Structure 1
Amino acid sequence: MFMNFRRVRKCKFLQIVFTCFILSALMLNWEQVDHHVVSHVKSYSYRYLINSYEFINHSFSISHEKATSIGNFPYLMDHKDTCRGQDVLLLLFIKTSPVHFLRRQVIRSTWGNQTYINRELGVIVKVVFVMGIQPNGGRAIQKQLQTEDQIHRDLVQQAFLDTFHNLTLKLLLQFRWAHANCAHARFVMSADDDVFVHVPNLVRELQVLSNQGVADLWIGHVHRGAPPNRRKDSKYYMPFQIYQWSSYPDYTAGAGYVVSADVAAKIYQATLSLNASFHIDDVFMGICAITVGVSPQQHVYFSGEGKAPYHPCIFEKMITSHGHVDDVRYLWKVATAPEVNGISSGFFGQLYCTAVKIKLLCFPYFLNSYSCKAAFS
């Protein structure tokens, strides 16, 4: 009896200590927790109850002259004849930093290998690396870039500083360059240089969509009802003076998305009348889209900011996965292996892969990659 009483007292003591610890942690971080909860409640309320973004046309509209002056930087490297006279299925822009020489080389030898795509997949995909100038890079880096471009002829560079706050200038560069030099491409894709793109899967899907004559296509990992970040210590900080509202328009993660040719043309037109000094490029894409009546469509196999799990059942339908630098060659090898094709065919194959994907995707092991819905598609 005495031992039981001591055990009870010990358990109660530990419970009190644990409770105090939790309450202390909440009190110390309450401002951050409260801010996060309140901002998301306000954002979703605005998105799903009010659901009106008519203000954008008025608040971001500027004159044609001012709009075209933003992003009107001279080209340091350009290849205007990249698409000329060719039936281009996909124009694939890769946003890269001038110093990411190795990343570009790995992409050229794996998922961005244009010779492989043409030979094995029977289509023309044009890969273009877009960039600005390396801050404090000096002549040495620029000389290396020129040497790289003489070999591969796939760099397009404008004379703006290549920084996070200039990412919207890269968006302008992509859509304006596409309009001027490759408007006949049936699809346009934008991707970061740390994204893995399963090009065979993507090409097969785009061929089906092209044969169906698809229009108004904008697919990717969609963010709906996202609140502006008001924390000054975040690189995504959005001052109230620039964006006063509680919710951003719907947009796809900038890591990787695809639009059809007609949407690319509409976005280009939007950039000629909107203030592109807004520095978050994927949100600015959403602002452009809503002004021209285009809505993003969720594709369950486009990753957000997270890596997709490694498994043949995932590889079979994978389109993009984010956060790959050192493992691109390995992932390309295993994701395109012959045994991946048809792994979910037949009743038992489908049952097996569904069970695997439920385990991998429906529990929080791989955050911000594929949604649980992907397990049933």
Structure 2
Amino acid sequence: MFMNFRRIRKCQCVQLLTTGLVLCVVMVCWEELDHHVVSHMRSYTYRYLVNSYDFLNSSFAISSNRHPRKDGFNGMDGGLVNYPYLINHPGKCGGDGQSQDDVLLLLFVKSSPENFERRQAIRDTWGNESFVLSELGASVRMVFALGVHPDVRQRSRVQSALLQEDQTYGDLIQQNFLDTFHNLTAKLILQFHWGHKYCPQARFLMSADDDIFVHMPNLVKYLRQVLSIESGAKDLWVGHVHRGAPPIRRKESKYHVPYALYPWPSYPDYTAGAGYVVSGDVAAKIYHATTALNSSMYIDDVFMGICAKAMGVSPQEHVYFSGEGKAPYHPCIYDHMITSHGHATDVRSLWQAATDPSVYSHSRGFIGNLYCTAVRVMLLCVPYYQNTYSCMAAFT
């Protein structure tokens, strides 16, 4: 009945103690393990074995008994809200009695009202329409998508500054919703509805954050290559793709999604909202989806995935769309980069370095190409803690 501990060898004691310690750690950390391991296993199983999102059209359809909220918050009720414009430029792409311009790219930059310095840096660098037209021969229209400042004590001051800013630059598009994380979906809807109404002729639409760096010469080159293929710019949705991502159930997380909002174990595939491009026909499909599906999903890139899946559109991976990652600073990277995330303060210096004509000389010829491939392997394929392009980008 009783264990004789004297007969237990020393190594067996160590094994028992180690096993007990491991079990204790697992019990203490089980919730964290469940969220980071079990949820991903469930998600990938659902994504690759079941791979059915038939529930989207029925579960996310706007029902007739939903009523739009009028308090400036696009919350859990999920009805389609048509917020009034506070600042608008209907003639940005032509129209209003004028002939519509041939626009290669309609570029929306999602910005917060107080981020004046970020917007100015973008105007001076990769978002400069005059530079793109004169140096690249491409017609690009760039606007900033905004809501109103969430702090009522600062709102009047910030709004006055925005009106003055827009009077100077004429590139702000603002609607009357609170500019908060939980209203990012409202900002996404603003982009596709404005594009559909005021710039439907644009060949491509891009959505980007205001801390993104876009290598505009490389992007324009890529878009022209897309236009040159036989099928033309059709069914294109390109960026950094998240496949089989599970909803985060931890309440303390910024990205927490409750079961009541999304009970399924996996999101449809979607591109990181930091920067992606869609062709004109896909932009039109997303617009129509936003009029038919409720916007209760407040994570905007996930909502984009829901809309696209409902319309039969699938995202395509491009290794030089960084998503949430940051590109290494090196000429052999600049030669290929499209987007890089996390550039709130160094946009001007990076623009000067990345668009220097000497950048392309590093990869010319067999030796140059071999050198840059080796550099990219060292920068992208050696494990680092920094989130950046995938190793596949080194060989592209």
Is 1:73 matched with 2:83? yes
Q: CA RMSD in A?
A: 2.2
TM-score, with structure 2 as normaliser = 0.87
Match of 1:88 in 2: 103
Distance 2:64 2:119 in 1: 35
1:27-52 CA distance string (max 9 Å, x none):
54342123310000000000011111
1:104-145 Cα shifts (integer Å, max 9, x gaps): 001100111111111111111100000100012321111100
2:362 partner amino acid:
I
Task: Specify whether residues 107 and 23 from structure 1 end up closer, same or farther in structure 2 by C-alpha distance, changes over 3 A only.
Answer: farther
Matches within 5 A, 1:163-178: 163-178=180-195
> Within the alignment, does 1:128 sit opposite 2:143 as a pair?
yes
Q: Which amino acid aligns with 2:218?
A: N
The answer to whether the 8 A contact 2:240-2:318 is kept is yes
* Pairing partner for 1:112 from 90, 112, 127: 127
Alpha-carbon distance, 1:63 to partner:
4.3
Task: Report the counterpart of residue 32 of structure 2 in structure 1.
Answer: 32
Per the alignment, residue 248 of structure 2 pairs with 229
91-100 vs 355-364, which deviates more?
355-364
Give 1:138's aligned residue: 155
Q: Assess, with a 3 A threshold, how the Cα gap between structure 1 residues 65 and 295 changes in structure 2: closer, same or farther.
A: farther
Which whole-Å deviations, capped at 9, do the CAs of 1:59-108 have from their partners, x for residues lacking one? 10124895996230110000000001211100000000000011000110
In structure 2, the residue matched to 1:8 is none
Return the match for 1:346 from 365, 368, 392: 365
What is the CA-CA distance between 1:365 and the residue it aligns to?
1.9
Establish whether residue 103 from structure 1 lines up as the match of residue 118 from structure 2.
Answer: yes
Whether the 8 Å CA contact 2:62–2:80 is kept in 1: the answer is: no
Q: Kindly tell me: are residues 34 and 64 of structure 1, through their superposed partners in 2, closer, same or farther at Cα, counting changes over 3 Å?
A: closer
Counterparts in 2 of 1:23 and 1:30: CA distance versus 1, 3 Å: same
Cα drift, residue 356 of structure 1: 1.0
Quote how far apart the aligned CAs of 1:344 are: 1.9
Q: Which residue of 2 aligns with 1:13?
A: none
The whole-number CA distance in structure 1 between the counterparts of 2:20 and 2:367 is: 51
CA contact (8 A) 2:261 2:296 kept: no
Q: 1:162 aligns with which of 170, 179, 189?
A: 179
- 2: CA distance, partners of 1:111 / 1:39: 39
The answer as to 2:263 corresponding to 1:217 is no
Establish whether residue 249 from structure 1 lines up as the match of residue 268 from structure 2. Answer: yes
C-alpha separation between the residues in 2 aligned to 1:119 and 1:365? 39
1:314 aligns with 2:324: no
* Other-structure match for 2:225: 208
Check conservation: 2:102, 2:202, Cα contact below 8 A. Answer: yes
8 Å Cα contact 1:190-1:257 kept in structure 2: yes
> Shift of the alpha carbon at 1:58?
1.0
Match of 2:62 in 1: 62
- Alpha-carbon distance change, 27 to 64 in structure 1, aligned in 2, over 3 angstroms: closer
Residue from 194, 197, 206 that aligns with 1:189: 206
Q: 1:75 to 1:343 in 2, by over 3 A?
A: same
Size of the aligned set, in residue pairs, is 363
Q: TM-score, normalised by structure 1?
A: 0.92
Q: Distance in 2 between matches of 1:80 and 1:35?
A: 46
**CA distance change for structure 1 residues 366 and 83 in 2, over 3 Å: closer, same or farther?**
farther
Mapped to 2, the partners of 1:18 and 1:191 lie a distance apart of 50
> Relative to 1, partners in 2 of residues 1:102 and 1:25: Cα closer, same or farther, differing over 3 Å?
farther
Q: Which amino acid aligns with 2:88?
A: D
The yes-or-no answer on 1:326 pairing with 2:326 is no
Q: Secondary structure at the match of 1:295?
A: coil
Shift of residue 277, structure 1, vs aligned partner: 1.9
The aligned residue for residue 10 of structure 1 is: none
Read off the aligned partner of 1:47 and give its amino acid letter: R
Give % identity: 61
Unaligned residue ranges in structure 2 (runs of 5+): 1-16, 69-78, 95-99
- Kindly state the Cα deviation for residue 342 of structure 1 after the two structures are TM-superposed: 4.3
Amino acid at match of 1:83: C
Tell me how far apart the structure 1 counterparts of residues 21 and 377 of structure 2 sit (CA, whole Å): 35
In 1, distance between residues paired with 2:24 and 2:65? 56
Q: Structure 1's 23 and 333: CA in aligned 2 closer, same or farther, altered over 3 A? A: farther
